[in-house]
Amino acid sequence: MRESASSLCFSILRHYLKNMQITLLNDPEFTLMLSEFAIAGIYLPPFFVYACVALPIFLGMRFLLARAGVFRWVWHPGLFEFALSLCLVSILVLYV
């Protein structure tokens, strides 16, 4: 019974990925590369813009975490802050 359930899951996944790939490649709106942002005639990479947007969110979260005393329970506060900023930028890249 397990083998049939796993083979069914794999066949559904394979079918979904096959249809998704065909749909994405046939879609004229779909692009594989991120485009640059032009601000005042200066081209900026999208990662820089995402990092600039994440900075005030990070500073606000850092202030709230410091006020709550979370940094006393963290082994390496600098590493924790870096990981938090990396998570914020990743969320912005994935969902914006």
Question: pLDDT tens track of the chain, all 96 residues?
Answer: 455 555 555 565 455 545 544 444 555 565 545 678 787 888 888 888 889 999 999 999 999 999 999 999 999 999 999 999 999 999 998 887
CA dihedral 87, 54, 47, 79 (to 10 degrees): -40
What length is written for the chain? 96
Q: What's the whole-model pTM score?
A: 0.61
Find, among 79, 88, 80, the residue nearest to 57 by Cα.
88
**pLDDT for residue 39:** 79
Strand partners, 38: 43
**pLDDT for residue 70:** 95
**pLDDT for residue 36:** 81
Q: Report whether 35 contacts 46 (CB < 8 A).
A: yes
